[in-house]
Amino acid sequence: MAYTHVQEDINFLELQQLIDDIQRNLPPLIQKVYELRCVRNFSAKETAKVLGIAESTVYNNLSSALVCLRNELTLQYTTNDSGKLKILLPILLLLLN
């Protein structure tokens, strides 16, 4: 099956929506750390200062958020459409870096 740019855009939007849904269900502190670090591109130091927590807590909570994202996305795409996970994996890697 050949994918067009339109299909890639649809896949990207679908993946972004799923990531947003997962993020909304994270515990509050983990959600805030993820938002600041991954969405707003704050440094760990800036995130720690804004939230009034240690940098190590920022790293631990970000790690928890990424593990949760990975597990939920893997579950979603292995139960619904295993071929789609392989297609979306490069997009996911870009979003999480």
pLDDT tens digits for range 35-75: 999 999 999 999 999 999 999 999 999 999 999 988 888 88
Distance between first and last Cα of the chain: 28
Number of domains in the chain: 1
Q: What is the DSSP letter of 3?
A: P
CATH classification at residue 89: 1.10.10.10
Residue 82 has pLDDT above 80, yes or no: no
* Structure token pair of residue 1: 């099956």
Domain, as residue range, for 77: 5-96
Spatial CB neighbours of 96, under 8 Å, sequence gap ≥ 6: 38, 66, 69
- pLDDT for the residue 22: 92
- pLDDT for the residue 91: 62
- pLDDT for the residue 96: 60
- pLDDT for the residue 72: 87
Q: What is the DSSP letter of 36?
A: I
Residue 2 has pLDDT above 70, yes or no: no
Q: Is the dihedral of CA 73, 78, 81, 84 positive or negative?
A: positive
Task: Give the chain's mean pLDDT.
Answer: 82
Phi-psi region of 6 (alpha: psi -120 to 50; beta: other; left: phi over 0): alpha
